[in-house]
């Protein structure tokens, strides 16, 4: 009775009730799977030895840990949500935010965001606690670095799909005008192992990218912002630490 009254008050069709009600539970389970199995540290601490991997150096382990993370993100944040949507679809022709129809008319705020963030990142990565942390994998040369970045940046497709596409549109359907705020909670939680300033900034980023995703109805500009910022963070850190100039 409670759920029926809840959805009736929000004019949500009855056929969507169960799927929307289960969405927060699905998100919680997905984040638990991510925390215990889906990122670099669980791989390095448990899975690598269990699977019999042998590495010549610690950085090799970190590279394969990133491969594991990217694959895990693809499974947890794309494949499983798509499967969930198949079981419990919601109304609308663009439930994942894959449309590019309104991207062109809404791209300007994303470009402004990139322009604002780049000098902030340059300053932040000049601090030792940042450039000692990034990039997580310390390559031996430019070739290794580009190989790592190619794997690393793919994970942001999964992140944007889950947090600014599938999850955001479902939460917005369930709680109109509040979906962005609700999706900030799980998004901030996946940053708890990051440096505190970055973890704190994820709240602001989640809000800004969430509102922009609702306006553009697309995850693609968010992927552009996320990959640009992530790549720039690694690049600037390599510059400030002096590693990049050692390769040239």
As beta bridge partners, residue 218 has 98
User: Is the pLDDT at 166 greater than 90, yes or no?
Assistant: yes
Q: Residue 187: pLDDT band by 50, 70, 90 thresholds?
A: very high
Backbone torsions φ then ψ of 114, nearest 5 degrees: -65, -45
Q: What is the pLDDT of residues 49-79, one digit of tens each?
A: 676 666 666 778 888 889 999 999 999 999 9
Share of the chain above pLDDT 70, in %: 88
For the purposes of burial, counting CB atoms within 10 Å of the CB of 41, is it exposed (0-12), middle (13-18) or buried (19 or more)? Answer: exposed
14 pLDDT above the threshold of 70: no
Q: Is the pLDDT of residue 81 over 70?
A: yes
Token representation of residue 86: 């198949």
Answer whether 136's CB lies under 8 Å from 41's CB.
no
Stated pTM of the model: 0.85
Question: What is the rounded average pLDDT of the residues 106-134?
Answer: 89
More confident residue, 3 or 110: 110
R_g (Cα) of the chain, nearest Å: 19
* Domain-wise residue ranges, the chain: 2-247
Using DSSP, state whether 134 is helix, strand or coil. coil
Distance CA 106, CA 102 (A): 6
Would you say residue 131 has pLDDT above 90?
Answer: no
Residue 9 pLDDT class (50, 70, 90 cuts): low
Q: Is 25 exposed, middle or buried (0-12, 13-18, 19+ CB in 10 A)?
A: exposed
């Amino acid at each position: 009775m409670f759920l029926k009254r809840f959805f009736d008050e929000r004019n949500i069709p009855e056929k969507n009730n169960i799927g929307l009600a289960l969405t927060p539970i699905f998100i919680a389970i997905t984040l638990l799977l991510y925390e215990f199995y889906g990122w670099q540290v669980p791989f390095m601490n448990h899975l690598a030895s269990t699977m019999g991997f042998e590495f010549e150096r610690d950085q090799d382990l970190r590279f394969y840990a990133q491969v594991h993370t990217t694959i895990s993100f693809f499974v947890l944040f794309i494949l499983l949500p798509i499967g969930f949507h198949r079981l419990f679809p919601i109304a609308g022709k663009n439930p994942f935010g894959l449309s590019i129809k309104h991207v062109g008319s809404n791209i300007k705020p994303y470009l402004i965001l990139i322009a604002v963030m780049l000098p902030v990142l340059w300053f932040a990565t000049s601090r030792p606690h940042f450039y000692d942390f990034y990039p997580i994998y310390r390559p031996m040369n430019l070739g290794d670095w580009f190989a790592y970045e190619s794997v690393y940046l793919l994970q942001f497709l999964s992140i944007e799909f889950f947090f600014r596409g599938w999850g955001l549109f479902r939460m917005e359907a369930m709680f109109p005008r509040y979906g962005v705020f609700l999706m900030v909670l799980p998004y901030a939680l996946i940053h708890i192992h990051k440096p505190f300033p970055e973890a704190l900034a994820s709240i602001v980023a989640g809000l800004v990218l969430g509102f922009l995703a609702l306006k553009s109805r697309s995850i693609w500009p968010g992927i552009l912002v996320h990959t640009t910022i992530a790549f720039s963070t690694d690049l600037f850190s390599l510059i400030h630490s002096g590693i990049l100039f050692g390769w040239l």
